[in-house]
């Protein structure tokens, strides 16, 4: 991992240029140009169907699982266009991790969930037991689950509380050493306490990882992000620092949305 000190404002995490995306005939993203800063938390807000989740799912190209998706334009992550033909989806997804709306730990043990990424990217012989153990401890410590779970690592991860499941889903990204973490409404299945815990965790991870979070909850965007992007009907309307966007939005549509006139 490169150290946080090397990251400057001039060194963007994600850059998109003229990004268009169609689901069959429906155009879901229209000419998106944006620069997401490295090491910061950027939130994507906008009403349902505005394309924010679609945009997020472009960054690790996970939306290509559906055959009818077509994309034009470019997305540069860490200086490399991810739509170049020589890009390996596996390498891309190693450096861009994703957390989903509903916590989705795999139906295996807590331990195996965390080392899953290591197991699929390394030969069995390359991984020693002590290496795996160390990775599990480090990842769980980072998300603040180690003390709660260290004595029951062999239990099924699907039996944990939702908040723990979501933290585990974040923890399992860390051993793969991502640069960017995408979060698709990570708190929508959680209660107030769980939401607070995940937001605190995001702040703790901020700096070492570039975090992009989609949220329906404007208060959450305001609390938990450095920059905020407002989208509408597949277009990027406004991208500014969160404080500015909520205090004096430049675009009247943004103002109306954050006042709750529609959404």
Partner 1 sequence: MEHEVVTLGAQPTRRSMAPGGDAARRRMVESLTEHVLEWVIRLCGISAILFVFGIFFFVLREGVGLLFGDFSLWKFLSSTEWYPTSRSNVRYGVLSLIVGTLSVTTTAMLIAVPFGLGAAIFVSEFCDKRAKEGLKIVIELLAAIPSVVWGFIGISVMNPLIQTVFHVPVGLNVLNGALLLALMSVPIMVSIGEDALKAVPDSFREAAVALGATRWQVIYRVLVPAAKNGLLAAVLLGVGRAVGETMAVLMATGHAVNIPHSVFDPVRTLTATIAAELGEASVGSPHYQVLFLIGILLFSITFAVNLTADLIVKGVRRK
How many residues sit in the footprint of partner 1 (CB under 8 A)? 28
Nearest to 127 by CA among 146, 140, 111: 111
Residue closer to partner 1, measured from CB, 168 or 218: 168
* Binding window for partner 1 (CB under 8 A); candidates: 85-93, 196-204, 211-219, 222-230: 85-93
Burial of 128 (0-12, 13-18, 19+ CB in 10 A): exposed
Side-chain-facing half-sphere of 45: CA atoms under 13 Å:
31
- 245 counts as binding partner 1 under rule CB under 8 A: no
- Residue ranges in 140-159 that form contacts with partner 1 under rule CB under 8 A: none
Cα gap 239→227, rounded to integer Å? 7
- 90 counts as binding partner 1 under rule CB under 8 A: yes
Cα gap 143→209, rounded to integer Å? 13
- Residue ranges in 94-113 that form contacts with partner 1 under rule CB under 8 A: 94, 97-98, 100, 102, 104-108
**What is the smallest separation between the CB atom of 179 and partner 1, expressed in angstroms?**
13
Residue closer to partner 1, measured from CB, 174 or 201: 174
Give the 3-state secondary structure of 9-61: CCCEEEEEEEEEEEECCEEEEEEEEEEEECCCEEEEECCCCCCHHHHHHHCCC
Residue closer to partner 1, measured from CB, 65 or 261: 65
**What is the smallest separation between the CB atom of 263 and partner 1, expressed in angstroms?**
26
Check if the beta carbon of residue 85 is closer than 8 Å to that of residue 142.
no
Residue closer to partner 1, measured from CB, 22 or 100: 100
Binding characters for partner 1, 168-187, by CB under 8 A (x = yes): -x--xx--x-----------
Locate 91 and state its tokens.
């390498």
* Binding window for partner 1 (CB under 8 A); candidates: 41-49, 116-124, 141-149, 192-200: 116-124
- 93 counts as binding partner 1 under rule CB under 8 A: yes
**What is the smallest separation between the CB atom of 224 and partner 1, expressed in angstroms?**
21
242's CB contacts (< 8 A; 6+ apart) are 43, 221, 222, 225, 226, 227, 228
Q: Compute how many other C-beta atoms are within 10 angstroms of the C-beta atom of residue 76.
A: 17
Locate 123 and state its tokens.
């030969």
- 122 counts as binding partner 1 under rule CB under 8 A: no
**What is the smallest separation between the CB atom of 120 and partner 1, expressed in angstroms?**
5
Residue closer to partner 1, measured from CB, 6 or 90: 90
Helix, strand, coil percentages in the chain from 3-state DSSP, rounded to 5? 40, 25, 30
DSSP state of 249: -
**What is the smallest separation between the CB atom of 232 and partner 1, expressed in angstroms?**
26
Residue closer to partner 1, measured from CB, 175 or 249: 175
Interacting residues toward partner 1 by CB under 8 A: 60, 62, 65, 67, 89-94, 97-98, 100, 102, 104-108, 116-117, 119-121, 169, 172-173, 176
């Amino acid at each position: 991992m490169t150290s946080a000190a090397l990251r400057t404002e001039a060194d963007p995490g994600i850059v998109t240029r003229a990004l268009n995306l169609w689901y069959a005939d429906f155009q879901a993203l229209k000419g998106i140009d944006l620069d997401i800063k490295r090491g910061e938390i950027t939130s994507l807000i906008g009403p349902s169907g505005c394309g924010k989740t679609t945009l997020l799912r472009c960054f690790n190209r996970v939306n290509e699982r559906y055959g009818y998706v077509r994309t034009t334009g470019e997305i540069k992550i860490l200086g490399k266009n991810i739509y170049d033909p020589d890009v390996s989806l596996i390498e891309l997804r190693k450096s861009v991790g994703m957390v989903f709306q509903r916590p989705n730990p795999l139906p295996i043990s807590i331990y195996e969930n965390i080392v899953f990424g290591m197991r699929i990217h390394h030969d069995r012989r390359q991984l020693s037991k002590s290496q795996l153990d160390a990775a599990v401890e480090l990842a769980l410590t980072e998300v603040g689950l180690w003390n709660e779970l260290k004595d029951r690592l062999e239990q099924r991860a699907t039996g944990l509380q939702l908040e723990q499941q979501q933290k585990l889903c974040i923890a399992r990204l860390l051993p793969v050493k991502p640069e960017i973490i995408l979060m698709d409404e990570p708190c929508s299945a959680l209660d107030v306490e769980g939401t607070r815990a995940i937001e605190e965790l995001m702040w703790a991870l901020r700096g070492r990882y570039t975090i992009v979070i989609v949220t329906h909850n404007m208060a959450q965007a305001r609390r938990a992000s450095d920059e905020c992007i407002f989208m509408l009907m597949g277009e990027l309307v406004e991208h500014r620092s969160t404080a500015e966007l909520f205090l004096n939005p430049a675009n009247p549509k943004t103002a109306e949305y954050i006042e709750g006139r529609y959404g």
